[in-house]
Amino acid sequence: MLKAKNFINSLQSLGIDFFTGVPDSLMSEFSKSLHFDFNDKNHIISTNEGSALGICMGYSLGTGKTPLIYMQNSGLGNFINPYTSLLNSEVYNIPFVLLVGWRGEPGFKDEPQHQFQGKITLKLLELLQIDYKVIDKNTTLEEVHEYLSINIKTNNPSALVVRKDTFEKDQRKFQNNKNLPTRKKALEGIVKKFSTETIFISTTGKLSRELYQFRVDQDLSEDDFYTVGGMGHASAISFGLAKTLSNKNIVCLDGDGSILMHMGHQGIIGTEKMKNFFHIVFNNSAHESVGGQPNVYNSIDRKKLFSSFGYENIFTFNNLKDLTDSSFDTNNGPTYIEIEVQNYSESNLPRPKNSPIENKENFIKKVNSESSNS
């Protein structure tokens, strides 16, 4: 296995000393080393992969150096447009190194949302004309160094595709405020605030798994919609549904990292003034589902931000008592509700037993049932 600190030192010896991207669980040790060993020097955790590419382009234009961009392979979708229209050799020809976590690799068990992306990852890099090297627990630092040193000299982009267990485990943990409620407890409190007719859509990551566990533990119906992939789009899905079912309360259970990834949705949501749209954000100011890496959400004045988007009602909480004692009965909307929570989740959270197709079909049945009863 590669030790992340040595890996970064090797990159720096090649002149690669600027890092940006979106964290991935397969490379959490890489993120931890940048934070704990290098004090995040020349390291920016971007809001999405396309923005990371833009940041790298600006850095390269200013320094002439080759930057590194890291992401899960699911982020290649956000990456493609700025690469094909700006950085590739037929436009501005900006070199970079790509570090890609290979979720859904064929032949290995993974979650449904990763399987198709895993099949096409290498083909996609080939189509984009990005040279790549697959690295795993048997890859040596010398092999990585040699590969990158050759490719950097060509002034062309190159990628390291990271298999599971490539990096040595790192037990260090990012900061967590244990005075805050856990997301699981806050989620249970929120769900109980709404009627059984309410329609819930949850964002990707462990939040959906906690919602699923709550439903199973309470022997309740499992017909919520779990947005298992497409980070950042749960609010857009919820918005589309709220427009369709204007007589039903639609609750989007969201995360701070998800909000940051595609924040443009919120301006449209606020402009439409839908009183049936409730946007719940569980704010741990971190990418907890993939390692706990910090983000910038708490550096933003969220009350001013969502008010400027056009959200009519804004509630913020940092404890369960105030949340329980509050009423969300409003005559206008949309409504933003934020609960600050710990950067923590249980390690043994269950995953939905139903396939995404089955989840979709059950959800549609609930929507149709609620529509016919209204």
The single-letter code of the amino acid at 77 is: G
Q: Residue 370 has what pLDDT?
A: 66
pLDDT digits (tens, 9 = 90+) for 85-103: 999 999 999 999 999 999 9
Q: Which residues of the chain register pLDDT less than 70? A: 370-374
Dist. CA 215–CA 224, nearest whole Å: 9
pLDDT given at position 330 = 85
- Can you read off the two tokens belonging to residue 228? 């298992």
Domain with CATH 3.40.50.970 in the chain: 4-162, 183-373
CA distance 238 to 250: 7
DSSP state of 309: H
Residue 220 has what pLDDT? Answer: 82
Note the pLDDT of residue 369.
Answer: 82
User: What is residue 264's predicted lDDT score, i.e. its pLDDT?
Assistant: 95
Three-state SS string over 152-168 comes to HHHCCCEEEEECCCCEC
For the chain, the C-alpha Rg in angstroms (whole number) is 22
The answer to whether 147 touches 134, Cβ cutoff 8 Å, is no
Q: Characterise 336 by phi-psi region: left (phi > 0), alpha (psi -120 to 50), beta (else).
A: beta
pTM above 0.85, yes or no: yes
Confidence at residue 45, expressed as pLDDT on a 0 to 100 scale: 98
Superfamily designation of domain 183-373 = Thiamin diphosphate (ThDP)-binding fold, Pyr/PP domains (3.40.50.970)
How many CB atoms within 10 Å of residue 171?
Answer: 6
User: Please, where are the H alpha helices in 227-355?
Assistant: 234-244, 256-261, 264-272, 302-309, 320-325
Distance CA 205, CA 171 (A): 21
**Architecture of the domain made up of 4-162:** 3-Layer(aba) Sandwich (3.40)
